[in-house]
């Protein structure tokens, strides 16, 4: 059981089944970049407003950079006992830099941190999907151009209909994907 998360509330250790059920580190570890970037920005804001010292801000920022590098290199030991990415990073930061690490969460709830991480993560993932969508659209355009004179049967209700150009057939898929791209843009804006 994580003393940091539940310290003093329970006298017995958390059972493994409950720990496995509550822990999200197996999937939210993918948000480490967003968690660290958000924490750095938060520390800078706290220092700018005089809530923490510039020295604490520097320690926090350097500590978070070191943690990010360790995760990037695949050497960070994620702990299921710490449940999620936020607690894994926070515990490590506090272990590495001391009390300054604990000041990082001044004026920020875990809900704020989770919301920020999720929004930033979604923006990054939407961008990745959009890049792949563009690559597929480009391939469709290339195929349409390469085979612009090829004729094939069109289909209506699973039955052959009038002849169509292969290029037009490819451009139909392009149009469908372009609508999907516009939806991704809307999701990106909302995130």
CA atoms within 13 A on the CB side of 152: 11
What are the residue boundaries of the structural domains of the chain, listed by start?
A: 3-108, 126-190
Q: Which two tokens stand for residue 180?
A: 């999907």
For residue 24, which of 67, 101, 83, 79 has the smallest C-alpha distance? 83
CATH of 3-108, one of 1.10.275.10, 1.10.3720.10, 3.40.190.10, 3.40.50.1010: 1.10.275.10
- What secondary structure letter does DSSP report for 51? S
| Helix runs in the chain, H state only | 3-6, 16-22, 25-28, 32-48, 54-72, 85-97, 99-102, 110-146, 166-190
Tell me the pLDDT tens digit for each residue of 34-78: 999 999 999 999 999 999 999 999 999 999 999 999 999 999 999
What are the tens digits of pLDDT across the range 148-189? Answer: 999 999 988 989 999 999 999 999 999 999 999 999 999 999
């Amino acid at each position: 059981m994580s003393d940091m998360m539940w310290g003093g509330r329970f006298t017995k250790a958390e059972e493994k089944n409950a720990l496995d059920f509550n822990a999200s580190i197996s999937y939210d570890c993918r948000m480490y970049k967003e968690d660290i970037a958000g924490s750095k920005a938060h520390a800078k804001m706290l220092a700018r407003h005089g809530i923490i010292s510039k020295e604490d801000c520097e320690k926090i920022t350097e500590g978070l950079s070191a943690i990010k590098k360790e995760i990037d290199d695949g050497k960070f030991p994620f702990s299921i006992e710490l449940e999620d990415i936020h607690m894994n990073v926070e515990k490590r930061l506090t272990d590495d830099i001391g009390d300054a690490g604990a000041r990082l969460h001044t004026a920020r709830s875990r809900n704020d941190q989770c919301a920020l991480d999720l929004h930033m993560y979604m923006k990054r993932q939407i961008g990745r999907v959009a890049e792949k969508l563009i690559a597929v659209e480009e391939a469709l355009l290339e195929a349409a151009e390469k085979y612009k004179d090829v004729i094939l049967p069109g289909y209506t209700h699973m039955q052959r209909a009038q002849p169509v150009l292969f290029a037009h057939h490819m451009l139909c898929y392009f149009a469908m994907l372009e609508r999907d791209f516009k939806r991704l843009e809307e999701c990106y804006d909302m995130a």
